[in-house]
Structure 1
Amino acid sequence: MLLRQPWVMPLVRICLVSAFLVGGVSKLLHFDAAVAEQVHFGLQPGWLWAGLAIFVEIAGSVCVITNRFTWLGAGGLAALTLVAMMVANNFWRLEGAARFMALNSFFEHLGLIAAFVMVTYLASGERRSRV
């Protein structure tokens, strides 16, 4: 069975966090743009929120990929995603096509948070089964 191949779960973990890892590195390399993004969404001070986002995106991704402190990495990424949902996908304030797009993105992010809960649960089961 494909799911039992030893390379599948590491690949799935990499895919799950790929947007965060790429985003964190990109923000690090373009810190001024990362600060401007935070300010655009009303998060002040922008440099603090950008730095926090970079740290969580990179460190959280590494935790999930390496399957070490998965609960902490996935939890941080889920919290960051929740903040982004509330700030950037505020569909309740929009109308028309903008509301539709924000609503869709809101629920995509909600699904991503659920995936982080699942990866944490699976990681804890892997640890129990190895003991």
Structure 2
Amino acid sequence: MAAMTDTPRWISVTLSWSRLLPIARVALVSAFLIGGIQKLADFPAAVAEQADFGLEPAWLWAAAAIIGELGGSALVIIGRWAWLGAGGLGVLTVVSMLVANNFWAQRGHDRFTATNAFFEQLGVIAGLVLITVLSLRDQQRG
């Protein structure tokens, strides 16, 4: 007897496509990849950005951001140690949320914008958790 599902067949077929998960992994970490590449290409600007957020020593925070963004993204994309890559990106995102999107300390339109960005980043963290769960399931299957 076939399992009952409320998912239309064409969606099930699409979600079963073997290339979908690798594409989704790249899409999930694309902002981190771009950010890491931009920081690496213009390290002085990356240092200035960290200093603007009050993170000192700014050069160390910039270097950590580059390593975290590029290294974490690579681990998520290849699916090896995805928990480490996603965890690092998640921590980086939490720091960003608290430093750059502190909506509770802002007013007016700035508060509106920061609130949206804060919760969008929370959604990215949830996506990182989900990709880690999928990676664990794949490993357990063998």
Instruction: Give the counterpart of 2:123 among 86, 92, 111.
Output: 111
Instruction: Give the counterpart of 1:55 among 64, 67, 77.
Output: 67
The CA RMSD measured in Å over matched residues stands at 0.5
TM-score using structure 2 length: 0.90
**Residue aligning to 1:89:** 101
TM-score using structure 1 length: 0.98
For structure 2, which runs of at least 5 residues remain unmatched after alignment? 1-12
1:1-131 paired onto structure 2 within 5 Å: 1-130=13-142
Secondary structure at 2:46's aligned position in 1? helix
- For 2:88, the aligned partner's letter is G
- For 1:21, the aligned partner's letter is L
**In structure 1, distance between residues paired with 2:134 and 2:73:** 16
**In structure 2, distance between residues paired with 1:84 and 1:126:** 30
Secondary structure at 2:131's aligned position in 1? helix
- For 2:53, the aligned partner's letter is F
For structure 1, which runs of at least 5 residues remain unmatched after alignment? none
Instruction: Return the offset for 1:129.
Output: 1.2
Instruction: Return the offset for 1:2.
Output: 0.9
Query: Matched residues, percent identical?
Result: 52
CA distances 1:37-80 after superposition (whole Å, capped 9, x unpaired): 00000000110000000000000000000000000000000000
Q: Which has the larger Rg?
A: 2
- For 1:107, the aligned partner's letter is F
